[in-house]
Amino acid sequence: MSILERMRRFRIRSKKEPPEERPRKGLWTVNPFQITRTQLEWLFSSPKLVQRMRYAGWIVVTRPGKPGRETLFDYSSAMGAYERLRNGEQPPLLPSERGRLTSNTATKK
C-alpha cells in the first residue's frame, strides 16, 4: 500500500463531523485537521524520516506535546511533505546523523 493510499484511507476513517445539534465552535472551525506523531510514522513507515521532515520544517506543529500528551501536526503540511518526497527531494540529515556520517568517512580513509 502506497503512502498516498494510506493517507487517503486514514483521512476517510478518522475525519468525523460534529453532531448537528451541537454548536460548531473552536475545534471544528478554527483548527486544521490534525495528526499525531505515531500516525505520521505509520503513514510514512519511518520514524527517522518523520524526524528529518520535522527538523527541516516540512511538517507544521499545531500543538506541541507535553508529558502525557502527544504532539499534533497539520495534515496538509504532511501532504505537502509527501509531495516533496515524490518529487525526489530529500529532507536534510539530523545533526546527530551528520556527525556520524563525517566520523565514519574520516575513519575509512
pTM listed for this prediction: 0.62
Q: What is the CATH number of domain 1-12+32-93?
A: 1.10.10
- Residue 50's nearest CA partner among 91, 9, 16 is 91
Give the pLDDT of residue 20.
Answer: 52
- C-alpha separations of 103 from 18, 48, 91, 92, 107 in Å: 53, 20, 21, 17, 6
How confident is the prediction along the chain (109 residues), in pLDDT tens digits per residue?
677 777 666 655 544 554 455 444 444 444 568 888 888 999 899 899 999 999 999 999 998 888 888 889 999 999 999 999 999 999 999 988 887 766 665 555 5
